Structure 1
């Protein structure tokens, strides 16, 4: 894929034209308040694995509306003292998979909480968390972007963003963790959730890492790429042309550009100039809203793989600079 978006000098100054919806802050304050009011204590069960250097716990915490969300907690075996912790979110269609798929952060000396993604895990890395509110949300195209799109109240990502924020808050209930050293992290959808969680509970997050984040500048993304998942919105609007205004008004509540400006922690993002899944203009739109200290890695010749091990290395270096110094 050739470079298809704005030239890099224009990307570096690009700002989204999407306005923050009226009542946006109140919407999220109310949503998180309801989730906290319905919360139950976290459940941890140690799990036997073939891994000798890592201790694994099967975690259940409560997310949106007090609904149970699964996670893995991997901790370096024999670690002493409170550890910094990475809270990781998963890319589109994936679930938490198996514990041995998540060893990078443990190898670097961190505790690692991997949140399962409600209703996902059918495309890669199986999942274990249902989405109880998926039924009755009105028509949608296959996938998650238009599920419940008739209203912000019923949209799928209202539930998932809340789960992500609650995962960060759950850190306070985990043993052996330094709650002052929490990094949110993830790629693609996971990157969007990393930004969202850091914007929703900024006082709980010490660093933010988002690789090629999804859900950035949604209104523009659907006009510059033919790739899925953004094409789900186009598919839906072809069948429901009279619902375009309502659809985008709902999606504005889950455009992470509107949550990026609430981040207070140091942030590292990445983008790839050949990435048609998460166009670089969207990533820069989110990046340019962040007012805390920030860095962005740009990969000229990558698509959605977004830097691969090069960015993984930068991720650990960035986290160490802000959490281990």
Structure 2
């Protein structure tokens, strides 16, 4: 796809005014308070995957409404040795994907980190290797997909539940045996990047935030700028429900990742693709340029992929992310070697 959004100099200074709800902070404080009336109730079951260099736990915890959320925990084998504690990365999944299979989450454990891969409730049946978490909450009339489920009231919207699950996933990671709770970061691409930014605005003491080509940023502009899914779900809904635009965009204003990003405090590493028709570059820069505006500030970096679409940096991202995060949290503690290693 050709370049279609603002040019790079304009992107670097792009700071739109958002329709931020006056009760945004109260809304989310109440949401999390209500969620925390349910015990986290983290449960983990060891899984024999035939991979002796990692321990895999099939995990679940109480998310929004106390609903059970599945996750994989993958950590270096023999990671629990004495008082050693490892850093952890909570990973959020792209739109329509699920937690998949544990062997798909080996990069961070291979580097000495604990990885917690959160399932996205109700998703995981259109791409990837599948999901395992239902969303037991219904909604009014909606377009196929997730963006218009509960779109007329922020209390009912699907993304409210998803973002809350993301916060609880951090709490679950901190409760995993052998994790250093002070060295927990969040990461994701596309929808996962949007969740990471939302969690960054709701959890004040993260070690770092990695948001690649993040979705759910500057939602109103995205709807006007792109005809690609998932944002096109909103367009299709409003094309039928012609009188619902004001209520719909009011609801979405409680869920815009830019508004969360303004409240973040942890260092952040972004990426953007200038030919991305799914998450247009100006929407990503809206979050990047506003990051930590309302707090004491935090160091931020953004990697620009001029010739890429929504795949962004692809597999090249981990090569960049690992030294960046290690520079923040320090090297992972030395863990025991696998049997037969000769050491």
Q: Among residues 136, 143, 146, which one is paired with 2:145 in the alignment? A: 143
Residues 40 and 172 of structure 2 are in contact (CA less than 8 Å); yes or no, is this contact kept in structure 1? Answer: no
- Match of residue 316, structure 2, among 310, 313, 316: 310
Moved over 4 A (4+): none
* TM-fit CA distance, 1:212: 0.4
Larger Rg belongs to = 2
Q: Is the 8 A contact 2:174 2:184 kept in 1?
A: no
Matches within 5 A, 1:8-157: 8-79=8-79, 80=81, 81-124=84-127, 125-133=129-137, 135=138, 137-157=139-159
1:290 aligned residue: 291
TM superposition shift of 1:19: 2.3
Taking only aligned residues, the RMSD between alpha carbons, in angstroms, comes to 0.9
TM-score, with length taken from structure 2: 0.92
Q: In terms of mean alpha carbon deviation, does 262-271 or 167-176 score higher?
A: 167-176
Contact 1:96–1:127 at 8 Å: present in 2 too? Answer: yes
Q: 2:176 aligns with which of 174, 177, 180?
A: 174
Is residue 2:4 matched to residue 1:4? yes
Q: Does the residue aligned with 2:116 lie in a helix, a strand or coil? A: strand
Q: Is the 8 A contact 2:149 2:157 kept in 1?
A: yes
Deviation by residue 1:149-193 (Cα, 9 ceiling, x = unmatched): 010000000000000011111223210000010110010000001
1:313 is displaced (CA, Å) by 1.0
Cα distance in 2 between the residues matched to 1:318 and 1:228? 31
* Distance in 1, Cα, partners of 2:51 & 2:40: 30
Give the distance between the partners of 1:28 and 1:295, measured in 2 at CA: 27
Aligned equivalents of 2:216, 2:268: Cα separation in 1: 17
Structure 2: gaps spanning 5 or more residues: 293-297, 332-343
Residues 99-127 of structure 1: per-residue CA shift (max 9 Å, x gap): 01111111111000000000000112211
Q: Could you report, residue by residue, the CA deviation over 1:194-239 in whole angstroms, capped at 9, with x for unpaired residues? A: 1111111122x11000100000000000111111101001000000
Name the count of aligned residue pairs: 322
CA contact 2:167–2:203 (8 Å) conserved in 1: yes
Calculate the TM-score normalised by the size of structure 1: 0.97
1:324 to 317, 330, 338: 330
Alpha-carbon distance in structure 2 between the residues aligned to 1:225 and 1:317: 34
Structure 1's unaligned 5+ residue stretches are: none
- 1:38 to partner: Cα distance: 1.4
